[in-house]
Structure 1
Amino acid sequence: MTDGSAEANLLHQISRRAGSMSPALRGVADVILADPEAAQSLSITELASRAGVADSTVSRFLRDLNLDGYNQLRLGIAQAIYSRPVSAAAPSGWVYEGILKDDDQSTVVEKVLHGSIEALSRTAERIDPETLGEVVERIHRASSLYFTAMGSSATVAESAVLRFTRAGKSCMFFRDQSAQSIAAATLGSDDIIFAISDSGDSTPVLATVEIARFHGAHVVALTSTLDSQLAERADTVLLTSGAVASSDVYGESVTAKWGQLLVIDVLYANYATRYFDEAEGYLLESYQSSIRPTRSGAQ
């Protein structure tokens, strides 16, 4: 089970196949589908007990799904949870994005890895080549690129500024939310504002976007939620992966940032290749003047 797409989602597989399973195996499937978050924390004996079957029946259930072992079932459930749309609250017992308080170190590593791979894969699936091309053209024509973001999305904005500045574009980003709103008033119809928000409902980002729109800037949204307030206000939407449910206590999704970084890198790579003759000089100069002197042993 290596494909993390929606079609290969383990919960989807179990749901599709449950109807053709024997009553005993279907009982195991029902327990998992009724509460996947709780099921992934159960031992094989606990799962068997809730389904009213023997441990050996759960083992047959694993073989029926071509799983190598019980741990792969738990990881598959966690990966499927990562692919679901963001929810308002995290289930009881969650510490962070599908990770449970009793998970051991190797399980945490596997879950974070699966979540990161899922975020990248799902974002790649959501990138529309035509929309991407249109944004690249706008970047080329734009007088400046402006970025608004908050929380950990600010790291994505800073990465974008570094990349596009090296390619010769004038870029601007402030960590301070008030400065973002103030600077948005300096934008015009020749400028692009990239608004980065996984939920699409970040109030400071929306406020900055409204100011930029008023002054005529083209709004490009990087968000996972097409029906969000940000997507509604944007001129162009670049969809990222949806994030697993997280709670206010433990913070926003970090795996979602992989999708945002992927979109920025794809935009940059497309821009640098399409306008290579223009970007090459800036890339070489920035390397010679700013990067190479920082490398130990560089001549």
Structure 2
Amino acid sequence: MSSLLSRIEQNLSRLSDAERKIGQYILEHPNLVPHMTTKDLSKNSGVSESSVIRFCKSIGIGSFKSFKLELVKELTLTEMNLTDFSILHKKDGPYDLFQKVTYVNKSAIETIPASLDRKEYEKAIDLILNAEKLVFYGVGGSATAAFDGYYKFMRLGYHCTFTHDFHSLLSFIPYMGKNDVFFAISMSGKTKDVLELSRFAQRKGAKVIAITNIGKSPLYKEADIRLCTPVVESDYRIGSIPSRMTQLTIIDALYLSIFQAKGESILSQFHEARNEVVRLRR
């Protein structure tokens, strides 16, 4: 049992009757709670919404959102974690691992609403709609999401840039300005190359949209807009799997939001590109 759930169990006897009902419900259904609102939890446990807030404070957590994030982190890093090196001590067959990967990725995606702030997301959409140049940068596993963003937004007619080469971007960023956006993608929010380039872009007047784990990392603190992913795997791991899925999901959502906003103005270009693809098939 995770430390958060243990803390709840250990404190049940000192909680009020209403708070105890909430604690018991959480202990019995921990995997359901990250997808609930305070209204959902209060209804399912038979108490008022204010009791949910009091419950969180009683166990030392300031808000229900923070509680859900801590619960998500513990569930994913303990019960569902596949990417740390403990996998070497397990005897799962290939198809068993396939099923587990499917479950873990699905669970990671479903927890994004607990970490992503709606106002920040809507600010990002407004910023992108009025942008001229978009730069996407990430290293390691985050480079996959950066390239995906570059490819998708290029299809929407944006002047997009993506490269693995740090020094190439050092040459490009001086041409950025107040109408441009730098996408800084980093799970930890501590990757030095990502931080240095995002800071350089800000000095040129560009806005930085960070796709990073929720927390108090340097990137989280310094970005103009934070599109936060939940903590779904440890920083020391075999490879980026569920964390990459959360980054890609946010990129997909941004792309569809902008496509919907632009809609009619770019349909002819989409059809033209599609016709060429069909014509050139071999």
Using the size of structure 1 for normalisation, the TM-score is: 0.65
Higher helix share: 2
The amino acid that maps onto 1:200 is G
Q: How many residues align?
A: 222
What residue is the counterpart of 1:257 in the other structure?
Answer: 244
Matched ranges for 1:3-22 at <5 A:
16-17=8-9
- Per the alignment, in what secondary structure is the counterpart of residue 227 of structure 1? coil
Matched ranges for 1:29-44 at <5 A:
none
Aligned pair 1:282/2:256, yes or no? no
The amino acid that maps onto 2:127 is R
Check the 8 A contact 2:135/2:161 in 1, yes or no.
Answer: yes
1:295 offset after TM fit, Å? Answer: 4.4
Aligned pair 1:234/2:223, yes or no? yes
> Among the aligned pairs, what percent are the same residue?
24
1:206 to 195, 199, 213: 195
Counterparts in 2 of 1:188 and 1:17: CA distance versus 1, 3 Å: same
- Cα RMSD between the aligned structures? 3.0
What is the rounded CA distance, in whole Å, between the counterparts of 1:196 and 1:274 in structure 2?
A: 24
Check the 8 A contact 2:83/2:240 in 1, yes or no.
Answer: no
Aligned pair 1:119/2:108, yes or no? yes
More moved, 196-205 vs 131-140: 131-140
What is the rounded CA distance, in whole Å, between the counterparts of 2:208 and 2:98 in structure 1?
A: 37
The amino acid that maps onto 2:97 is V
- Per the alignment, in what secondary structure is the counterpart of residue 223 of structure 1? strand
What residue is the counterpart of 1:292 in the other structure?
Answer: 278
More moved, 256-265 vs 170-179: 170-179
Aligned pair 1:104/2:106, yes or no? no
What residue is the counterpart of 1:75 in the other structure?
Answer: none
More moved, 165-174 vs 98-107: 98-107
1:224 offset after TM fit, Å? Answer: 0.6
Aligned pair 1:168/2:157, yes or no? yes
1:15 offset after TM fit, Å? Answer: 5.6
Using the size of structure 2 for normalisation, the TM-score is: 0.69
Counterparts in 2 of 1:160 and 1:119: CA distance versus 1, 3 Å: same
Check the 8 A contact 1:222/1:260 in 2, yes or no.
Answer: yes
- Per the alignment, in what secondary structure is the counterpart of residue 221 of structure 1? strand
Rg larger in 1 or in 2? 1
1:98 offset after TM fit, Å? Answer: 5.7
The amino acid that maps onto 1:96 is D
What is the rounded CA distance, in whole Å, between the counterparts of 1:113 and 1:135 in structure 2?
A: 29
Matched ranges for 1:62-81 at <5 A:
80-81=74-75
What residue is the counterpart of 1:73 in the other structure?
Answer: none
Check the 8 A contact 1:83/1:118 in 2, yes or no.
Answer: no
What is the rounded CA distance, in whole Å, between the counterparts of 1:141 and 1:246 in structure 2?
A: 35
What is the rounded CA distance, in whole Å, between the counterparts of 2:73 and 2:194 in structure 1?
A: 30
- Per the alignment, in what secondary structure is the counterpart of residue 162 of structure 1? helix
What is the rounded CA distance, in whole Å, between the counterparts of 1:285 and 1:152 in structure 2?
A: 33
Check the 8 A contact 1:82/1:243 in 2, yes or no.
Answer: yes
Counterparts in 2 of 1:131 and 1:100: CA distance versus 1, 3 Å: same
What residue is the counterpart of 1:82 in the other structure?
Answer: 76
Check the 8 A contact 1:79/1:111 in 2, yes or no.
Answer: no
The amino acid that maps onto 2:248 is L
Check the 8 A contact 1:95/1:101 in 2, yes or no.
Answer: no
Matched ranges for 1:146-225 at <5 A:
146-225=135-214
1:100 offset after TM fit, Å? Answer: 4.0
1:107 offset after TM fit, Å? Answer: 4.0
The amino acid that maps onto 1:273 is Q
Counterparts in 2 of 1:101 and 1:83: CA distance versus 1, 3 Å: closer
What is the rounded CA distance, in whole Å, between the counterparts of 1:258 and 1:128 in structure 2?
A: 18
Runs of at least 5 residues in structure 2 that lack an aligned partner in the other structure? 13-71
1:165 offset after TM fit, Å? Answer: 1.1
1:278 offset after TM fit, Å? Answer: 2.0
